[in-house]
Chain A
Amino acid sequence: MTATRILTLLAVLLVAPALPGIATRTKALLTGRRGAPVLQLYADLAKLAQKGVVYSRTATLVFRAAPVVLSASVLVAALLLPLDGRASIFGFSGDLVAFAGLLGLGRFALVLAGLDTGSSFEGMGSSREVTVAAFAEPALLLSFTVLVVATGSLSLGGMLGVPLAAAWPSVAPSLALAGASLFMLLLAENARVPVDDPATHLELTMIHEVIILDHSGPDLALILLAGAVKFALFSALVVSVLVPLARFDPWMSAAVLLAGLAVIAVLVGVIEAAMARLRMDRIPQFLVAASALAGFGVILLLR
């Protein structure tokens, strides 16, 4: 059983860099362009890994540690998710808070690194990133609350595993609300339209991109990889809320999960093609709407 779990995790990590590629390619095709190859990020990562690193004279250890802390925290968070729909590789009661905390730790390291460079652009980006995070975290925890109330389990392995599949028919509306809320969060947390635009080239309009302007070489590769894995984790979260994976046998559920990841990436691309990014002061409203959806899901369950 543990073998399938580890293999599923490895498969998810392996396909993770393809997901942003799928989203970008979908957007390009829908807007009448050809777009970069789906596997572009693999090539970028390989190229960056061979390059040297340039550090600014103002940067300290904080700046150097950030990519490592970020990628490590995202990888540990990946261990907490029950990717095969049964149990996580490393789970305990209350690990949902650890999951949110690990993602928060990664972001904290990145934001500190942005401030550490002393560049005003990166400070601005850090401030925006934290603003988005402050509104995103209540939505994440409210979505988890829906799952906790629906299944009566306090660990991600239970919330998204067998108890969820058992409770699924009776709580479907609340789960749909939580899924929608998590999908909106996915867009916000992974710096996607309508919250942030990954394709922008103007520092003033960036949120996530501007923080990592000073990183280069393997450091940048680690950050890009962590971003791709985070995208995969959130997609996996949405998929396992909306599809009771425990109903399939382990191999089948892994296949369903991977297909689900691709579907989510395409959906993100469609949204990017169809929408413009929100004005900066409208972003909190977008995330409050996500919280309201999840909160409504909780209310429906408590009724």
Chain B
Amino acid sequence: MMDFSGLLLLLVVFTDFWVLGTTRMSSVIRAAAIQGAILAALPLALHPGLSLHMVGLAIGTFAIKALLLPAFLHRAIREASVRREVEPVIGFTASLCIGAVAVALSFAVAQRLPLPEAQTALLVPVALATVIVGLIVLTTRSKALTQVVGYLILENGIYVFGLTQAERVPFLVEIGVLLDVFVGVFIMGIVVFHINREFDSLSSAKLTELKD
């Protein structure tokens, strides 16, 4: 029942829980980096028979999601010297519970979706769960940097969903999406620097005070 790709997808869910449960920002970023590395290995595990397409996708994903973005985010917390997420809108225990419910729901929903073919039965529920977890982190955490990580997790979920169609999507489109994410996080990082310089804090609640 459980092959190597299934194991990798389980690990993706683990990193989701990890992101939900930790207060330390460096730990959250590390979790996102590990998730990126797992996602890079996924296309190779799902589609044996090394095609140039899959290898390129894996290398590109690994370079951007597991190395470049985490390094950039680590630099950002060093510069802004924030270490912890202090006051999330929803507490850590509660968000873990919501995350668990989200995982349960996505497994229940994924069975009912009329999908053309199930390549790996786990792919769709894990994708949904990751998207929801990303959304939870994005909306309930107060520090701008954790929100960026939430955006990354959300995108990772979309990437997992995209893997169901990986053989049909042209290579250029995928690389384009990856670059999009990279640029997105890059710009968010720059915004974070500016928020920090302007307010001496990374709390996004203060963004409402922004004026021209």
Instruction: Mark A residues whose CB is within 8 Å of B.
Output: 170, 172-173, 282, 284-285, 288-289, 291-293, 295-296, 299-300, 302-303
* Complex contacts, A289 vs chain B, CB 8 Å: 17, 21, 96
* Complex contacts, A296 vs chain B, CB 8 Å: 13, 100, 103
The listed residue (B6, B97, B104) touching A288 by CB distance below 8 A is B97
For residue B119, CB closer than 8 A to chain A, the reply is no
Interchain CB contact under 8 A, B17 and A292:
yes
Instruction: Mark B residues whose CB is within 8 Å of A.
Output: 1-2, 6-7, 10, 13, 17, 21, 92-93, 96-97, 99-100, 103-104, 107, 111, 121, 125
The 7 closest A-B pairs by CB, nearest first: A292-B100, A285-B93, A299-B107, A288-B96, A173-B2, A288-B93, A285-B92
- Which partner residue on chain B sits nearest A174 by CB separation? B2
* Complex contacts, B125 vs chain A, CB 8 Å: 303
The listed residue (A288, A293, A299, A303) touching B121 by CB distance below 8 A is A303
Given contacts A172-B2, A173-B10, contact A285 B96 (CB under 8 A): yes
Given contacts A173-B10, A299-B107, A303-B111, contact A292 B96 (CB under 8 A): yes
CB A225 to nearest CB in B, in angstroms, measures 34
Interchain CB contact under 8 A, A170 and B96:
no
**Max chain A CB contacts within 10 Å: which of B6, B21, B93, B99?**
B93
Interchain CB contact under 8 A, B7 and A303:
no
Interchain CB contact under 8 A, B104 and A295:
yes
CA distance A293 to B103 in the complex (A): 11
CA distance A124 to B121 in the complex (A): 49
* Complex contacts, B100 vs chain A, CB 8 Å: 288, 291-292, 295-296
CA distance A289 to B20 in the complex (A): 10
The listed residue (B17, B96, B99, B107) touching A303 by CB distance below 8 A is B107
* Complex contacts, B93 vs chain A, CB 8 Å: 284-285, 288
- Which partner residue on chain B sits nearest A177 by CB separation? B10
* Complex contacts, B107 vs chain A, CB 8 Å: 299-300, 302-303
